[in-house]
Structure 1
């Protein structure tokens, strides 16, 4: 597939490298310009591109950008064909993006983001830590393979996103429509807790919007309480413990 990843940070870099390794034609674009793409992201064959050119003639566009920024790209996406699958990887953390009244008042994070962009999106890769994505992807069929939920209103777009999740080393799980994607947002039981395909459905079902929002808002304090030498496993355990 022809894929563009917009955003060259940890998540975007991970996805560009893994999807390129899987054999896809991958471009990476960043608002700061092609020079912002780290050399190691391009080692597997991905190419740095200008943002204005990177959305043309692509099958899939992955948004690996901070939550709330999508609206700034609405003009860029206006001429992009409707059949192009757009995947959103972002998460709403008020202490990072600032308070967004519509979301605070109950609108689903991903639905709001799609409205700002002006087109449908699929939610994927948001519920796994960057380091989990970088280090824990394994071939299909490997015992204990971790799972990633995928939500979106188009069955075909979900299918495409699920195939790409598989290509990055994780079992994809069909998590339903975009209106259901709050179940994989911060800080639900399914969010960044490293679950297998057998474990993930129960975690999604256990989500509680009010409780999970309180846990999300306590993340800065809980992270500050971890030792300076905290590992990926420490962070995952912190997320799991919040739901016990």
Structure 2
């Protein structure tokens, strides 16, 4: 059984955990307040989940998910995540994270910032432009007409392939945006952000996105 290590047990992290467990993964999940604060969530997730510290979740992971505020990525366990595929669900909320001039000027993306913080990991964008509740409620079987689509972006082909397979298991088609440098197309305030769309609609929304507001 493969292990998904989830760093960040908020709305997105807990829903990705549910999808993972439903598809045969073991989940090790962490937050910033300590494993003991996750007792209720782990009880709800069932026997294929346990709480841990961020470093423990990273070390246990075959694949990791980072779903924490952007301002905290420098606190991540770099060594424990070395060489691993890391799904990045983040978005830039300057109201929460403070102003990041590189992002304001359109010089980088949130995923590239995470890749910089985790230089030996294989970062790939995932689950950043869907509401948390929709992760477990809007997926449908492959081939369903109008099936909802989600975007990914990454510099590592194996990481992109993993997200594509994970999305499909969760009930979503995949649109590959390209490298991490193009992941801005699916970030906050772009046309593809948090709207329900099929693959053709998603491609169209990605194409009309503007780099800066």
TM over 0.5: yes
Task: Report the TM-score, using the length of structure 2 for normalisation.
Answer: 0.90
* Corresponding residue of 2:103: 103
How has the CA–CA distance of structure 1 residues 58 and 144 changed in structure 2, closer, same or farther, with 3 Å as cutoff?
same
User: 1:26 Cα deviation (Å)?
Assistant: 1.5
Q: Tell which deviates more after alignment, 31-40 or 87-96.
A: 31-40
For 1:164 and 1:44, locate their aligned partners in 2 and report how far apart those are by CA, in whole Å.
Answer: 21
Shift, 1:138, TM fit: 2.1
Other structure's SS at 1:27 match? strand
Match of residue 189 from structure 2: 187
Q: Deviations over 1:160-197 (max 9, x none)?
A: 11111222221122111100100000111111111111
Taking the aligned partners of 2:75 and 2:188, their CA distance within structure 1 comes to: 23
> What does residue 126 of structure 2 align with?
124
Structure-2 residue corresponding to 1:227: none
Residues 66-112 of structure 1: CA deviation (Å, up to 9, x unaligned) = 12211111xx2224341x10110010011121111222222222212
Moved over 6 A (4+): none
Larger Rg: 1
2:141 to 139, 142, 161: 139
Q: Distance in 2 between matches of 1:136 and 1:110?
A: 25
Which one of 52, 61, 70 corresponds to residue 64 of structure 2? Answer: 61
Partner of 1:115: 116
> Any stretches of 5+ residues in structure 2 without a counterpart?
none
TM superposition shift of 1:158? 0.5
The CA deviation at 1:141 is 2.2
Indicate the residue corresponding to 2:88 in structure 1: 88
Alpha-carbon contact 1:138-1:170 (below 8 Å) kept: yes
Equivalent pair of 2:58/2:81 in contact (CA under 8 Å): yes
Q: Which 5+ residue runs of structure 1 have no aligned equivalent?
A: 212-244
Tell me the equivalent position of 2:4: 3
Partner SS for 2:204: helix
Give 3-state SS (helix, strand or coil) of 1:35's partner.
Answer: helix
Change (3 A) 1:44 1:199: farther
* Contact 1:14–1:41 (8 Å) recurs in 2: no
TM-score between both structures, scaled by the size of structure 1: 0.79
- Aligned residue-pair number: 208
Distance change (3 Å), C-alpha of 1:30 and 1:194? same
Structure 2: how far apart are the matches of 1:100 and 1:28? 28
Alpha carbons of structure 1 residues 100 and 41: separation in structure 2 relative to 1, 3 Å? farther
